[in-house]
Amino acid sequence: MNSLRYEAPSSLGDAIALLAGASGTSRILAGGTDVIVQMETDLIEPDLVVDIKKIPELRQIAVENGVFRVGAAVTGMELTDHEAFCKAWPGVVDGVKLIGSMQIKGRATMGGNLCNASPAADSVPALIAAGAIARIAGPNGARDVPVEDIPIGPGKTSLDKGEIIVSFRFPSRPVGSGDAYLRMTPRTEMDIAVVGVGVSITLDAGGVCIAARVALGAVAPTPLLIEEAGAALIGSPVDTRALDRLAQAAAAACRPIDDKRGTKEYRIKVAGVLAKRAALLALERARQNT
């Protein structure tokens, strides 16, 4: 067994320096619900684990002029207990609520859900639909990256050595906006998405959709932002015809695999159906948000 070193720096600069200067295998520890399992099952044998939970900016939920910034190491329970965030971004909360059990949500974080880079991560399509922007800090300074540009394949991200996701910034939310995340699983709890769909829309005063973003999970090597699916709703009252176009665009964008959870054909079919249902839930929330 390797000799493992554990560090829990209280500043971002120290964390970056530790990771950037490390030789061998290093891992960031936030909630640990993936990393500790990988260590326990000998999938990884890190030389260095950097616990980022003592860094203040990773642990805060801040809101300024209706713009939320959520620290990447805020736990699922902390986020789903945050009333103002739940009211503003119910679809993101839908996704976070589906991450594991209550025990897992006591530790698991959105930053970890994104960086674990599972194609089926439940919070990620919801974050992409919301238009969340990740603030990344690293040895060469900070950069802001749309969430959809971070996973690049199963278990792989576009982060460079020494980089850490600090927080997620959500756009300001006009009245008439609503979002939703739904996933298809054989059971209602403790399962992994066969398909996941996040939808975020904004309606004008007349009920016409003026902005829409749609993202799919578990139908490709990474969660996908489907621009054609959002475009299918824009300019419509989100009626049956628009929803049919949305379903077609969502299904057309799928590049799934066959596995024990579902076949390619099943995933493609479900992606369309679920996209419609998520859009209808987002629509209902948008109409209530006046």
Binding residues (CB under 8 A) for another protein: these are 1, 3-6, 8, 29, 31-33, 36-37, 39-41, 49, 51, 53, 75, 77, 100-104, 106-107, 188-190
Minimum CB–partner distance for residue 6 and another protein (Å): 4
Q: How far is CA 166 from the centre of its chain?
A: 14
Residue 27 contacts residue 46 (beta carbons within 8 Å)? yes
**Closest distance of CB 24 from another protein, Å:** 13
> Is 11 or 101 the residue whose CB approaches another protein more closely?
101
Q: In the complex with another protein, which residue's Cβ is closer, 32 or 90?
A: 32
Q: Which is nearer to another protein, 77 or 220 (CB)?
A: 77
**Range 217-229 burial, b when 16+ CB lie within 10 A, else e:** bbbbbbbbbbeeb
DSSP secondary structure string for all residues of 98-118:
TSS-HHHHTT-BHHHHHHTT-
**Least distance CB 188 / another protein (angstroms):** 8
**Minimum Å distance from CB 287 to another protein?**
27
Partners of residue 214 on adjacent β-strands: 199
Residue whose CB is less far from another protein, 98 or 216: 98
In the complex, minimum distance from the CB of residue 36 to another protein, in angstroms, rounded to a whole number: 5
| Residue (63 or 104) nearer to another protein, CB | 104
Nearest Cα residue to 214 out of 204, 202, 203, 200? 200
Rounded CA gap, 247 and 268, in Å?
10
Dig out the tokens for 17 from the structure. 């320096």
Contact criterion met (CB below 8 Å) for 142 and 135:
yes
